[in-house]
Every structure is written in C-alpha cells, then in structure tokens.
Amino acid sequence: MDLPVVEKRLIRTQEKLAAMETLLEDKSRDLFLANEEIQKTNDFLNNVIGSMQSCLIVTNAEGTIQIINEATVELLGYDRTELVGQLLSLVGTEDKGVNLLSNMDSLAATKSLVRQEIQYKAKEGAEIPVLFSSSAMHDAEGRLTGIVCVALDLSNHKLLERQLLLSEKMASIGQLAAGVAHEINNPMGFIFSNLSNLGEYVDDITALLGVYEKLENAIRSAKVEGLQDELDELEDNKKRIEIDYLMEDIRDLIQESCGGAERVQNIVLNLKEFSHSGRDEKSLANLNDGLESTISIVWNELKYKVTLDKEYGDIPNILCFPQEINQVFMNLLVNAGHAIEDSGEIKVRTYEEREYVCIDIADTGKGMSPEIQRRIFEPFFTTKDVGEGTGLGLSMGYQIIVDKHGGQLIVESTEGSGTTFTIKLPK
Amino acid sequence: MKGVIFNMLEEFVIEVSDEETFEEIYEECEFVSQGPFIGPGTYPDEDFLQMANKAIAKLGIAPADALRAFGKWSFPKLAEKVPPSFVDFEHPKDFLLTVERVIHAEVRKLYTNANPPRFEFEDPEPNKLIIYYISERQLHDFMDGLIEGVGEHFKTEISTTRECLQRDGHSVWKYHLTFAEGN
C-alpha cells in the first residue's frame, strides 16, 4: 500500500537535506581548495610584482592609487601606506604647467608601448627621471576601471650619459691640449735655441764694440786731422741711443726671453703630461709628477689667493690611469681654491701608508657641514651656483679612485676651518 | 539540467494541480539519476524531459502551452535566486544582453558539469534584439515563456517571433524581439 503523500514528500525532503549536506561538504572542500589556489596565485603575483625592477603603480578609474610595488616605495621614499589611497598626481611633476599624472583621459589613451620620459616626484621633493608607460584597464562593458603605470628609473642612465659626455669633453680637451702642446713645442724649440745664440752673438758684438771704443779713444788721443766731425757724430749717436744702458739691457732682455721661453716649454711639458696618452690601459706613473703638472695647470687660478705648501714624499710609481688621477687632482685643487674665500693655504702631501700611496690635499677654506659632507659624492650634488659646477667632479673622482683603482677617497672637514681630501691608491 | 529547474517544475505542477498529482507523476518516472533532485545538482536532461512530459500528459495541456506557461512562471522565481545586480536593469534588452556573459558564465564557473544553453545576439535597432537560442534540449517553448516572463518582470511588452535555422546539422532558434516603446 502506498504511503500517504505527506509522508512520501517528507521522506524525499529528508533525502534532499542529506543530499544538500553532502553537496555542502563537497562545496566547502572545493571552496577550501579554491581558496588555497587563489592564495597561491596571489602569492605568486605578489612575488612577481615585488621582484619587478620597474616601478608599478595601479590606480582605479579616478586615479586613486590601489597597488604599488617595492621598487616604487624605494624610489620615491614613501611608506606604502602614505601612497595607497592618494591620487596618482602626487608622484608627478608639472611640465609647462601640466601634471601628466593628473590627466586620466590622457593616461588611459596612452598605448602601453608608448613610453615617454617624465619626472616622478619623490617624498623629499627630488625629481627623478623615469621612462614611463601607462595602459588602461577596462571591464567587460568597456568602462575604464583603472590605469597600470610602469616606470623605469633613469637616474643612473642619465648619470652615465652625463659622465660619458663629460669624459668625452675631457678627452677632447686632452687631445686638443696634446695637439696644441705638440704644435707649440716645435717653434718654442727654435725660439729658445735662437735666443741662446742671440745671447752669444750679443756677447761677441759687445766684445767687438769694446775694441771699437778702444780705437775711438786712440783716435781721439792722437788728434787725427779731418776726423773730428765723425768723432762728434759717433759721440752724439752713442748718447742718443744710450749705448751703455742698451748693452746692459739687451742681455737682460735676452735672459728674460730665455726665462719666458723656458716657462712656455714647461707649460707645454705639463700639458703633455696632463693629457697623457694611453687612456685605455694602466701605466706606471709617479703621482708626484702628476700632482706637480696638475698644480702648474691650475696654478693660474689659485695663485692670487692661495699659498701652496708642497711636501712630496718618496713614493713608488704605481700602475694607474694617470690622466684620470690628474683629473681628480685638478678637481680637488680647484674645489680647494673655491673653498678659500679671500686668502688661505693649500697643502699637498704625498706619502706611503702600508699598501697605499696617499695624497692629501688640504685647504684652510670654509669647510663643510656634516650634511654636505654626507652628500658630496652624490652625482649632481653641488653647493656652487647654477652653471658654476656640474656636481659631477667629486662623484666622478670617487668613481675613478674607488671603482676604477680600488682605492679610497676620504674627506675630513670642519666647518669654518678647512677640508682635507685623502686619496689612497693601492701600490 | 540543473536541479533548480526540476524543483521549479515540481512547484509549478503542485501550483496548477496538487501534491498528490505531482507524487503520481514522480512515481511514474523512471529516472536515470539516483536520489532526489536538489537545486545545485546537475541531472540528465532526459530525467527532466520525462518528468515534464509526464506532467503534460497528466495535466492534459498541450506541450507547447505547458512549457511556455512554465517558462513564464519560472522567470520571476529564477530572478529571485540570482544576486540582485544580475537583474538590476532599467530595460529588458539590457538584461537579456548580459544573460550569456554573466548568468550562464557564472553557472559554468560554479558547476563545471553544467550545460546551459548558449545565446548569441544581434542588436539591429534600439528597440529590437535578435537572440539565437542554441541548445541540444530544444526547449524553445520554455524559452518563449521565459521571454514573456522577462517582459512582465521589466514591465515592458515584448513581441516575439522565432524561426528555426539549421547550423552544422543542428536546429538553432532565431528570436526576433521587439520592445514596446516608452520604457
């Protein structure tokens, strides 16, 4: 006999409940596994984003920052929580009054393959050049949901570009100097030689004039008839040209000219030393010579306010890039000169210290604050007025001494009393 | 076919007749699947067709009319079961255009063995819509009823004509929908 309808339905409802329970358990397990998968995917994506060298910023459609990666945090100096939730324009700078990062339409329209150079603004206000690209995210209906911004820090690239430019410039100047030195050297050779000969000729002429004078005196004493007019004319001419002074001065002039020519020859020699060839490989060089030739190049700039104290130690020749070391000497000497406002002293000293050859360049100038000392080796950092310094001299010096030669470049400075730079180069 | 449709058919039959009639229909069926039909489950299409055909025979209604009536009755029930945002549209056309991309996509995502029909659309004019109904089940009468239910739900009269096309040896139903102006 059939069970009553209600009972049948009740039994089926209980069966349904049991089936639902089983299904719920299955679904719960599926959900757990799915969550695990999501977590794995999430971790993987976070790893990818976190290990990106490029800076990633993802915004919503209104330009509010939703996601940033570690590279962005490091580059801009913000804490993650300070950026997420802020408008993207916060990290942009104005170019001709326009902040590209505040214009969502333009960012959304930019194709991801179009990259442009813009400046990011760091927390401390520094402008950082980046290669920027953006791409728009849309939902299934084509509505803008956000912008993905990827930026590559160009600071190092720019620095290398500037350094390359500067070193090319220095190389050109070196080449030019070497060329000029060579051209001057030849005529200076015969000028110097001619002046020496001229001195000897003057000696001969002076001796001859002495004989003539004796003859003149003899004629006067003999009172030879008919020669009085010629003797008077001779006397007038001697007085007119001040023959005694002239003969004395002509020697001085030749001597001075010889001295001048010698100096020109020295300058030419120093120029040749400064623009020493063989830039691509190290050569054995004596740093005392390099320092001396560099001093003579920059001396003209220093001589009016600086007294120079040189203390060259007996140092061995070292394997180095002499032209580049000379360039560092020049930067340090010029900086020392700039640090001295009215008058002061620069002391250069060379000595050996264990496995190093050391060079101190010390000035009695205005010195530097600890804040400035901390930053002097940063590229583009300068305390000089715009246009007066590139801010690359010391950073390049650091590169040359530390990176290229495995040496040390140490600064000690006291505000108001002076600065000492110590270069230590391995023997 | 999803269990929810089986359960809605049960509810429909009980509403138009009574529990006893439904129990008779249920007992007469020789289902392929074991156990009761529960909403989230997926069951063979032939089980549903068997139950529907038995109900049609028992109730003495023309099959096309029965399936249309069931479709019309089902739509508001289905609309209640999905998240509100799925049906939150001003106009039925906007809703219909999302069915394939949202509702069917979600069903496929949640139930890997589900096999919902496939809809393709053409949008020739603002007040017109062409829907291609592609399904092995050929429940075009049920589809007619669902479209009527959509019109009622969105309070917009929808006049429908359909034609049967052949595509790769299968019947595809092409629906021409015209929406009454003013909504």
Nearest Cβ partner for B20 among A5, A19, A140: A5
Tell me if residue A393 falls in helix, strand or coil.
helix
pLDDT at A1: 44
Q: Tell me: the pLDDT tens digits for A79-122?
A: 999 999 999 999 888 877 778 788 887 777 765 556 788 889 99
Question: Residue A183: is its pLDDT beyond 60?
Answer: yes
Q: What is the sign of the dihedral through the CA atoms of A354, A355, A361 and A362?
A: negative
Closest CA in chain A for residue B7: A16
Predicted confidence band at A351 (pLDDT cuts at 50, 70, 90)? very high
> Which of A165-169, A351-355, B157-161 shows the lowest mean pLDDT across its residues?
A165-169
Separation between Cα atoms, residue B130 and residue B142, nearest integer Å: 17
Total residues belonging to chain B: 183
Question: Residue A358: is its pLDDT beyond 70?
Answer: yes
Query: Per the structure block, which two tokens stand in for A401?
Result: 């001494």
pLDDT at A167: 65
pLDDT at A225: 80
pLDDT at A174: 66
Higher per-residue pLDDT: A388 or A58:
A58
Question: Residue A384: is its pLDDT beyond 70?
Answer: no
Distance from CA of B165 to the nearest CA of A (A): 29
Question: Residue A307: is its pLDDT beyond 50?
Answer: yes
Taking CB atoms within 8 Å and a gap of at least 24, the contacts of A180-189 are: A180/A271, A181/A268, A181/A269, A181/A271, A181/A272, A181/A275, A182/A272, A184/A264, A184/A268, A185/A265, A185/A268, A185/A272, A188/A261, A188/A264, A188/A265, A188/A268
Identify the residue among B20, B86, B101, B109 best suited for mutation to test binding to A, counting A beta carbons within 10 A and taking the highest: B20
Longest dimension (CA), chain A: 188
Question: Residue A208: is its pLDDT beyond 60?
Answer: yes
Q: Tell me: the pLDDT tens digits for A225-241?
A: 888 888 889 999 999 99
Spell out the domain ranges in chain B. 3-61, 68-179
Closest CA in chain A for residue B102: A140
Predicted confidence band at A276 (pLDDT cuts at 50, 70, 90)? low
Nearest Cα to Cα of residue B79 among B135, B127, B146, B143: B146
pLDDT at A277: 47
Cβ within 8 Å of B, A 297-326: none
- Is A211's Cβ below 8 Å from some Cβ in B? no
Query: Which ipTM value was assigned to this complex?
Result: 0.74
Looking at every residue in chain B, the average pLDDT score rounds to 92
- On chain A, the residues whose CB falls within 8 A of the CB of B35 are 15, 19
> Across residues B155-174, what is the average pLDDT?
94
- On chain B, the residues whose CB falls within 8 A of the CB of A8 are 23
**Contact call for B38 and A20, based on CB within 8 A:** yes
Q: Note the Cα A304 to chain centre separation in Å.
A: 27
- Is A20's Cβ below 8 Å from some Cβ in B? yes
Which is the CATH superfamily of the domain at B68-179?
H-NOX domain (3.90.1520.10)
Higher per-residue pLDDT: A124 or B95:
B95
pLDDT > 90 fraction of chain A, expressed in percent and rounded: 36
Nearest Cβ partner for A12 among B36, B40, B101: B36
**Contact call for A16 and B38, based on CB within 8 A:** yes
**Structural domains in chain A?**
52-153 (3.30.450.20), 156-275 (no CATH), 278-427 (3.30.565.10)
> Which of A7-16, A270-279, A407-416, B101-110 shows the lowest mean pLDDT across its residues?
A270-279
**Contact call for B38 and A19, based on CB within 8 A:** yes
Higher per-residue pLDDT: A173 or B110:
B110
Question: Residue A218: is its pLDDT beyond 70?
Answer: yes
pLDDT at A279: 55
pLDDT at B108: 86
pTM, rounded to two decimals: 0.48
A330-354 residues labelled b (16+ CB within 10 A) or e (exposed): bbbbbbbbbbbeeebebbbbbeeee
Q: Which residues pair with B176 in a beta bridge?
A: B130, B161
pLDDT > 90 fraction of chain B, expressed in percent and rounded: 72
Pairing verdict, β A418-426 and A356-363: antiparallel
- Is A140's Cβ below 8 Å from some Cβ in B? yes
Looking at every residue in chain A, the average pLDDT score rounds to 85
Q: Tell me: the pLDDT tens digits for B18-61?
A: 999 999 999 999 999 887 899 888 899 899 999 999 999 998 98
Higher per-residue pLDDT: A270 or A53:
A53
